[in-house]
Amino acid sequence: NSLTLVGNSGDINVTLNFGGIVTSGTYNIGSSPSIASKICAMTIVNAPNQPSGVVWYGKSGMVVVNTNSTSINATFSGIVCTQQNFGFPVVTANGVLGCSQ
Using CA atoms, how far apart are residues 71 and 55, in angstroms rounded to an integer? Answer: 28
Residue ranges of the chain with per-residue pLDDT less than 70: 1-2
Mean pLDDT of the chain: 91
**Which of these, 2, 88, 16, lies nearest to 50 by C-alpha position?**
88
* Cα angle, residue 73 at apex, residues 35 and 26 outer, rounded to 5°: 40
How high is the pLDDT of residue 31? 86
Using CA atoms, how far apart are residues 55 and 57, in angstroms rounded to an integer? Answer: 7
How high is the pLDDT of residue 2? 57
- The model's pTM: 0.89
How high is the pLDDT of residue 93? 93
- CB–CB of 81/88 below 8 Å? no
